[in-house]
């Protein structure tokens, strides 16, 4: 009886044993760092006297002081506005191109589909820093072959790393690198549409454009929501592109994006407590925006389902 009971406990405990390594890694590399960042954000350094000697600097409780200072910091707010403008360019253009490429590859008349699919996806496999460096040198008039061609044709040479064109230059890097991944996600959903649906559309006399607009795009709506969700998170966390281009232009400051502001405060000025508060604020903003978007998308799907059931 005891042996059977032990075997029963062993069978019931097997799933927890399999989950234990992942749970430990999750706690060590995700939960604990987040908890430590929150703890740091609630503290600050108190300097006594001139700040020299042992015990002149001590860590004290700050409460919400770091959060108040961060939310009223004009540099952080300006970085958030710059990222907002950057995202208004990147997200719609990138997802629009990804959807267009996916629909084109799903067409029956497309040729060399495997090669084309790989060519579109390949930029995503290039590390972001390497891609930013490559595009950065292409933007420099002194080394870019495109500017030599413009010079030979006596055409104006725009400065892509200054002023308004800087947003387009940064957005181009993100679009070039992220379109392929989103295209694969959407294309996979398109390939999962049953063949009977396409045959029914042909029998009804639908053109390829009508099929794409009225059948394919509505059926891959969950994939569009997923890619939009990922794109929003990536936009809020933009860091590689402006940081890599910063040595090439004076238009990119050390606080161009919120994450660059966090990096400067943590490793430039050494105020890890303020940087921790800013990081927590960015994480909460990402969570709120993502949760709000997913909730709105789910509400829309439920409404569509009810309308479809009513019909």
Q: Are residues 203 and 135 in the same domain?
A: yes
User: Residue 50 — very low, low, confident or very high, per pLDDT cuts 50/70/90?
Assistant: low
Q: What percent of the chain has pLDDT over 70?
A: 89
In a domain? residue 52: no
Q: Which pLDDT band holds residue 273 (cuts at 50, 70, 90)?
A: very high
> What does the pLDDT read at residue 148?
81
Tokens representing 176 are 């070039």
- Tokens standing for residue 2: 């005891």
- Residue 31 has a CB neighbour count (10 Å cut-off) of 11
Pure H helices in 31-127:
32-41, 65-71, 74-105, 113-125
Confidence at residue 7, expressed as pLDDT on a 0 to 100 scale? 55
- Rounded CA-CA distance 195/192 in Å is 9
The reply to whether 221 and 106 lie within a common domain is: yes
254 and 191 in a single domain? The answer is yes
The sign of the dihedral angle between the CA atoms of 34, 36, 42, 48 is: negative
On whether residue 49 sits in a domain, the answer given is no
Residue 277 lies in a domain: yes
Judge if 140 and 203 occupy the same domain.
Answer: yes
| Cα dihedral across residues 135, 129, 121, 190: positive or negative | negative
- Per-residue pLDDT band for 115 (boundaries 50, 70, 90) equals confident
pLDDT at 9: 53
CATH of the domain at 114: 1.10.3720.10
Mean pLDDT, range 68-78, rounded to an integer: 93
Same domain for 122 and 34: no
Q: How far apart are the first and last CA of the chain?
A: 60
| pLDDT value for 309 | 57
Q: Residue 142: pLDDT band by 50, 70, 90 thresholds?
A: confident
Q: Of 79, 29, 88, 26, which is closest to residue 278 (Cα–Cα)? A: 79
Q: Is position 93 within any domain?
A: yes
Same domain? 158 vs 202: yes
Q: Are residue 25 and residue 90 in the same domain, yes or no?
A: no
Question: Is the pLDDT assigned to residue 25 strictly greater than 70?
Answer: yes
Tell me whether residue 51 is in a domain.
Answer: no
Q: Does residue 238 share a domain with residue 96?
A: yes
For residue 25, give its domain range: 1-41
**Residue 76 near residue 70, CB atoms below 8 Å:** yes
Inside any domain, residue 57: no
Is residue 121 in some structural domain? Answer: yes
Q: At what angle do helices 74-105 and 113-125 cross, to 10 degrees?
A: 160
Q: Quick one: pLDDT at residue 44?
A: 87
pLDDT band for 1, please (50, 70, 90 cuts).
very low
Q: Are residues 123 and 168 in the same domain?
A: yes
**Number of independent structural domains in the chain:** 2
The overall average pLDDT reported for the chain is: 86
| 226-254 pLDDT tens trace | 899 889 888 988 999 999 999 988 889 99
Residues 124 and 253 in one domain: yes
Q: What is the mean pLDDT of residues 110-131?
A: 87
> How many whole angstroms separate alpha carbon 286 and alpha carbon 273?
20
Same domain flag for 131 and 74: yes
Same domain for 134 and 249, yes or no, is yes
Residue 286 within any structural domain of the chain:
yes
């Amino acid at each position: 009886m005891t042996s059977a009971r032990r075997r029963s406990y062993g069978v019931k405990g097997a799933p927890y044993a399999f989950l234990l390594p992942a749970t430990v890694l999750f706690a060590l590399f995700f939960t604990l760092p987040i908890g430590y960042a929150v703890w740091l954000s609630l503290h600050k350094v108190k300097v006594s006297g001139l700040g020299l000697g042992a015990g002149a600097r001590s860590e004290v409780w700050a409460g919400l002081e770091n959060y108040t200072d961060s939310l009223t910091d004009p540099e952080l707010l300006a970085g958030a506005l710059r990222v907002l403008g950057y995202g208004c360019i990147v997200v719609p253009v990138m997802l629009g191109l990804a959807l267009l490429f996916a629909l084109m590859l799903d067409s029956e008349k497309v040729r060399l589909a495997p090669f084309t699919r790989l060519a579109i996806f390949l930029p995503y496999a290039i590390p972001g820093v390497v891609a930013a460096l490559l595009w950065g040198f292409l933007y420099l008039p002194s080394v870019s072959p495109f500017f030599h061609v413009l010079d030979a044709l006596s055409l104006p040479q725009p400065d892509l790393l200054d002023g308004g064109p800087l947003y387009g230059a940064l957005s181009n890097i993100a679009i070039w690198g992220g379109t392929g991944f989103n295209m694969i996600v959407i294309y996979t959903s398109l390939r999962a549409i049953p063949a009977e649906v396409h045959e029914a559309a042909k029998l009804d006399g639908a053109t390829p454009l009508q099929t794409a607009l009225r059948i394919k795009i509505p059926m891959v709506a969950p994939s569009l929501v997923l890619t939009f969700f990922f794109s929003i998170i990536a936009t809020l966390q933009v860091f590689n592109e402006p940081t890599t281009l910063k040595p090439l232009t004076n238009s990119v400051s050390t606080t161009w994006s919120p994450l660059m502001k966090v990096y400067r405060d943590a490793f430039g000025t050494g105020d890890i407590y303020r940087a921790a508060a800013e990081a927590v604020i960015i994480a909460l903003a990402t969570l709120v925006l993502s949760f709000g978007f997913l909730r709105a998308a789910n509400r829309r799907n439920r409404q569509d389902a009810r309308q479809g059931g009513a019909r």
